[in-house]
Amino acid sequence: MQPSIQKTIDFVKETLAGAEAGHDWFHIERVFKTAQNINQKEHGDELVVAFAALLHDIADPKFNNGDEDLGPNMAANFLKSINIDQNTIDHVKLIIQNMSFKNSFDGDRFSSKEMQIVQDADRLDAIGAIGIARAFTYGGFKNRVLYDPAIKPEQHISKETYKNTTAPTINHFYEKLLLLKDMMNTQAGKDIAQERHHFMLQYLDHFYSEWEGN
């Protein structure tokens, strides 16, 4: 492993110590590994993919008063401190600024092969068995109810309505998680997403059955 990657891993582990369990070092590690696996097929810039995957949630806005500049700036300052070239820093910063689901409501934004790889890896960690666990972990963190049949899922049309939702966790499946399969960029991402998407549908069938006491 390159020394710059190890330094980045150490920085992320230290910075995210004590983070909410769905957005902690283990989330970063899974995204990093998945991005590397996808990149073996997509052949993007290995360093850009690695740095962006490791630093993409270094200061998630939802845990930092909605500040969308803090994370990209922290990432850029760190990479500068370990003498990464400016073109790589700029690319990583753009990826972090543009890859989140909520930013998809803004229409056409920056994109690159490397961003597509890291974005797919991050979205894959939001679906399937781990995605379900993360959804309920965050729902518990925000003290949201599991499910309320009287509160129907919304189809969010803006970043603000999505960011400000307080809906039950089950609604999040329909408002984000089940949409991600069709938002994958790479073929490798699409292939993995199919199975994880199917697992979520099976889970929802079981959930509703158990909800009714069956």
At 80 the pLDDT is 97
Residue 101 has pLDDT above 80, yes or no: no
In this predicted model, what pLDDT tens digit does every residue of 147-193 receive, in sequence order?
Answer: 999 999 987 656 565 666 788 999 999 999 999 999 999 999 999 99
Helix (H) or strand (E) segment spanning residue 208: helix 187-211
3-state secondary structure 128-194: HHHHHHHHHHHHHHCCCCCCCCCCCCCCCCCHHHHHCCCCCHHHHHHHCHHHHHHHCCCHHHHHHHH
Nearest to 174 by CA among 155, 160, 188, 193: 155
Say how many C-beta atoms besides its own lie within 10 A of residue 152's C-beta. 9
Domain ranges of the chain: 3-211
Q: C-alpha distances in angstroms, 159 versus 12, 105, 156?
A: 27, 6, 8
- Fold classification of 3-211 (topology level): Hypothetical protein af1432 (1.10.3210)
At 107 the pLDDT is 61
Q: Give the number of C-alpha atoms closer than 13 A to the C-alpha of residue 143, restricted to the C-beta side.
A: 0
Lowest mean pLDDT among 7-16, 106-115, 141-150: 106-115
Residue 105 has pLDDT above 60, yes or no: no
Confidence (pTM): 0.91
